[in-house]
Amino acid sequence: MDVTNVPNGHEAYFFVAILHTGVLRLLVILSQSSVLQKGVRMEFRTVIRPESGMRGLVSHGEPIVLVGSCFSDNIGACLRDELFDADVNPFGPIYNPLSIQRAFEVLKDNTVVKSESLIENGGLWHSFLFHSRYSAVNREDAAERMNRRIEAAAINLRNASVIIITLGTTRVFTLRATGDVVANCHKLPGSAFDVRYLTLDEVEDALTRTVATIRSVNQRGRIIFTVSPLRYNEQGAHGNQLSKSTLMIAVDRVIRNDSSGLTSYFPAYEVMMDDLRDYRFYADDMKHPSMQAVRYIYQLFKDTYFDSDTLALASEGAAFTRRLAHRRLNGADVSQKDEMAEKISVAEAFISRFPELKHASMRYLNSLFNDGI
């Protein structure tokens, strides 16, 4: 480049301008997802592809049971919106492997929650195995809600084509009074609990027992493990990584040791960390995945497990649930009773076209007018 015409004393500014232009050009190049180097395409992000050989594993018509962290709620909501018969977190979110193991034991035995086993705090009656969404002011009402959920989920577990287990953390809270690991502390004082982290052997043992418990009532269901992308900031960055790594190694061991070939792993955590890897894909609390991230991960789930027929039926289901979920603008002169009748009419017309989706359609319709419990 000719610098002979640059005014004296301005050479430094000139070269800074050249450098600035070069940096901008480099940033434009790097902003692209890939470049060509010697004819080889180079990716500048870690794109996680669908695992081969899994298409058709998830389909409509048979129950899908999801148990685990709040990420199970996220994926379960996506499945329900596409009219899969998804039984989502019958105990509410559960994060640690020991509590997940206990939850499946309760479903296997169809254990009855006795009202005298509940504890009161904050004006509500709680169970240490259930989320507070099942708690109630009246002790008997709380127990009845929990038992109703156990009964329904126990039936679904026995008939499920797929069981999805989402692990959150190795951190456990042990009730000092009994020595039992709890799934939910229900805002009791911290002094009521001891806190520790499960070892790799403990996690592997819990997951092995969980698989055995499921197999005792359902020998054909496919089990999909996944690790929640939720970040546990209270553990610190290093502690969170240690916990997630322990979970992943334990899952890998369980899958390798399972001779049935019916257990597998879906990389939700890896998608969040290595593919998306940007804070814009987190919710405002900077811990939970944003809805955009959830949809991205769910799309990979679909690409991995749905065949073409299931994808087409899921699209029809999504259109139907969007229509049902639509609410009239404020001021519309329609009573709740009339609105319900209108939605029921829409559902009946849809079911006449897709009778195999009747149960999931009625479940979704019921969730619009009830608390879903």
pLDDT reading at 226 higher than 80 = yes
Is there a single domain that holds both residue 251 and residue 360?
no
Question: Is position 162 within any domain?
Answer: yes
In the predicted model, is pLDDT for residue 7 greater than 60? no
> Three-state DSSP class for 88?
strand
* Counted domains in the chain: 2
Q: Assess whether 227 and 81 both reside in one domain.
A: yes
Same domain, 210 and 331: no
Inside any domain, residue 268: yes
Residue 29 lies in a domain: no
pLDDT of 5 strictly over 60: no
The chain-wide mean pLDDT, for the chain, equals 88
The residue out of 273, 306, 339 marking a domain boundary is 306
- Same-domain pairing of 160 and 300: yes
pLDDT tens digits along 102-151: 999 999 999 999 999 999 999 999 999 999 999 999 999 999 999 999 99
276 versus 265: the higher-pLDDT residue is: 265
Q: Output the pLDDT for position 326.
A: 76
- Among the candidates 306, 326, 348, a domain finishes at 306
Of the residues 255, 282, 306, the one at which a domain ends: 306
Per-residue pLDDT of 289-336, as tens digits, reads: 899 999 999 999 999 999 999 999 999 999 999 988 876 545 455 677
Looking at the fold, whether 336 and 290 belong to one and the same domain comes out as no
- In contact, 125 and 142? CB cutoff 8 Å: yes
Does residue 52 lie in a domain region?
no
DSSP state string for 260-300: TS-EEEE-HHHIIIIII-SGGGB-TTSSSBPHHHHHHHHHH
Is the residue at 24 inside a domain? no
Do both 155 and 291 map to the same domain? Answer: yes
In a domain, 191, yes or no: yes
For residue 330, give the amino acid letter: N
Bridging pattern class, strands 40-43 and 34-37: antiparallel
How far is the C-alpha of 315 from the C-alpha of 311, rounded, in Å?
6
CA geometry: angle 276, 278, 280, nearest 5 deg: 110
Parallel, antiparallel or unpaired: strands 193-197 and 171-175: antiparallel
Taking only the tens place, the pLDDT of each residue in 17-27 is: 555 555 555 55
The predicted pLDDT at position 150 comes to: 98
- Edge-to-edge strands of the sheet including 64-68? 86-88, 64-68, 162-167, 222-227, 263-266
Q: What is the pLDDT of residue 14?
A: 46
For residues 342 and 258, state if they share a domain.
no
Structure tokens belonging to residue 26: 């480099």
Quickly state the pLDDT bin for 285 (edges 50, 70, 90).
confident
Whether residues 146 and 262 share a domain: the answer is yes
> For 35-47, what is each residue's pLDDT tens digit?
555 556 666 678 8
Structural domain containing residue 338:
311-373
Q: Is residue 48 one of the residues assigned to a domain?
A: no
Based on the fold, state whether residues 258 and 360 are members of the same structural domain: no
pLDDT value of position 61:
86
Residue 32 C-alpha from the chain's centroid: 30
Residues 228 and 359 in one domain: no
Give a three-class secondary structure readout of the chain.
CCCCCCCCCCHHHHHHHHHHHHHHHHHHHHHCCEEEECCEEEECCCCCCCCCCCCCCCCCCCCEEEEECHHHHHHHHHHHHCCCCEEECCCCCCCCHHHHHHHHHHHHHCCCCCHHHCEEECCEEECCCCCHHHCECCHHHHHHHHHHHHHHHHHHHHHCCEEEEEECCCEEEEECCCCCEECCCCCCCHHHEEEEECCHHHHHHHHHHHHHHHHCCCCCCEEEEEECCCCCHHHHHHHHHHHHHHHHHHHHHHHHHCCCCCEEEECHHHHHHHHHCCHHHECCCCCCECHHHHHHHHHHHHHHHCCHHHHHHHHHHHHHHHHHHCCCCCCCCCCHHHHHHHHHHHHHHHHHHCHHHHHHHHHHHHHHHCCCC
- Compare 16 and 260 and report the one with higher pLDDT: 260
Kindly state the tokens that stand for 44. 């500048």
CA 323 from centre of chain: 24
Which residue has tokens 């959920």? 149
* Tens-place pLDDT, residues 199-214: 999 999 999 999 999 9
Go through 87-112 and write b for each residue having 16 or more CB atoms within 10 A of its CB, e for each that does not.
bbbbbbbbbbbbbbbbbbebbbeeee
Residue 187's φ and ψ, nearest 5 degrees, are 60, 25
pLDDT in tens, 58-77: 999 899 999 999 889 999 99
127/206 same-domain check: yes
357, 264: one domain: no
8: helix, strand or coil: coil
CATH of the domain at 298: 3.40.50.1110
- In a domain, residue 12? The reply is no
